[in-house]
Amino acid sequence: MKYILQLGIIVLASCFGISSAKSQDRGFVKIFDGKSLKNWKGDTAHWAVENGSIVGLVTPEKQLKENTFLIWNGGEVKDFELKIQYKISKGGNSGIQYRSELVPGVAFGLKGYQADIDGKNEYTGLNYEERGRGFIAKRGEKMVVDSTGKPILEQSLGNTDSLARSLKSNDWNEYHLIVLGNRMQHYINGVLMSDATDNDTKNRKMAGLLGLQAHVTPEMRVEFKNIRLKKLK
C-alpha cells in the first residue's frame, strides 16, 4: 500500500509538472522552424542553421566591419514576451534586439533596445540601446529613465557577480523578455537580471523589429533555438 501511495504521488507530481509547463507556454508561438531561415533575413556569410539552431559566426576569414543582425520578418512588435535559448562561445558578443529600427545605409543594421549576451558573462542580462543612449539598465539594476533621459537607480536586484552565477558558460541558457508599455524586464534561467522603465518620450521606442546580433569581434559563435513569441497587445 505504501509503495502504491508513493507511486501515486510521483505520477500526480509528474502530471502537475507537465500541466504547469504547458500553462507557462500558453500563447507563445514559435518564430523559428528549426530547419531554415524562413521568415528571417540577414547576411548568410555570418548566419546559418545547424542542428536545429540559428548560428551566428565570425571567423578570421569572415570578419565584420559593423555589427550585423538577423532580422525577423514578422514586422514590428509592441508589447510582448519572448523566450529564446542561447549558447555563446567564450569570446563571443551578441544580443537580442527588440523595438528596433533599420539603420539607413547599413545592410542588416539595427538600432534600439538590446538584451545583451557575452561569452564572459560580464554584460549578459543588461539592457543596452544599440546606436542610441547606451546602457539603459545594467545587470542587477532596476532603473527608471526620467523624461530628460537621465537614468535613476530605483532598486538593486542583487550583486552582478552573484546574478552571474545562474548563467551557464558555453552551455544553453534561456532568456525571457517581458516588454509591456515602457517597462522592460530581462530574465535568464528564471532570474531577473535587469528591469528598466523608460520615461524618455523623445528617445524611447514603443514598438519595433526583433533581431539577433553578431558583434564585431575577432572570432565568435552564438547559437539560438526554441524561439517563442507571445504578443501581449
Domains in the chain (CATH in brackets) are: 29-231 (2.60.120.560)
The pTM for the full model equals 0.90
Is it the case that residue 226 has pLDDT exceeding 90? yes
What's the pLDDT band for 11 if we cut at 50, 70, 90? very low
Is it the case that residue 18 has pLDDT exceeding 90? no
Is it the case that residue 209 has pLDDT exceeding 50? yes
User: Which residues does 110 contact at the CB level (< 8 Å), separation at least 6?
Assistant: 69, 71, 97, 100, 101, 102, 103, 130, 131, 209, 211, 213
Q: Encode pLDDT of 148-176 as tens digits.
A: 999 999 999 999 999 999 999 999 999 99
- Cα first-last separation, the chain: 51
- The alpha carbon of 134 is separated from its chain's Cα centroid by a whole number of angstroms, namely 17
Q: Encode pLDDT of 114-160 as tens digits.
A: 999 999 999 999 999 999 999 999 999 999 999 999 999 999 999 99
Contact indicator for 74, 210 with CB cutoff of 8 Å: yes
Q: Encode pLDDT of 77-113 as tens digits.
A: 999 999 999 999 999 999 999 999 999 999 999 999 9
Is it the case that residue 19 has pLDDT exceeding 90? no
- Average the pLDDT over 36-40 and give the result: 98
Is it the case that residue 56 has pLDDT exceeding 70? yes
Contact indicator for 52, 218 with CB cutoff of 8 Å: no
Is it the case that residue 26 has pLDDT exceeding 50? yes
What integer pLDDT is reported at residue 25 of this predicted model?
83
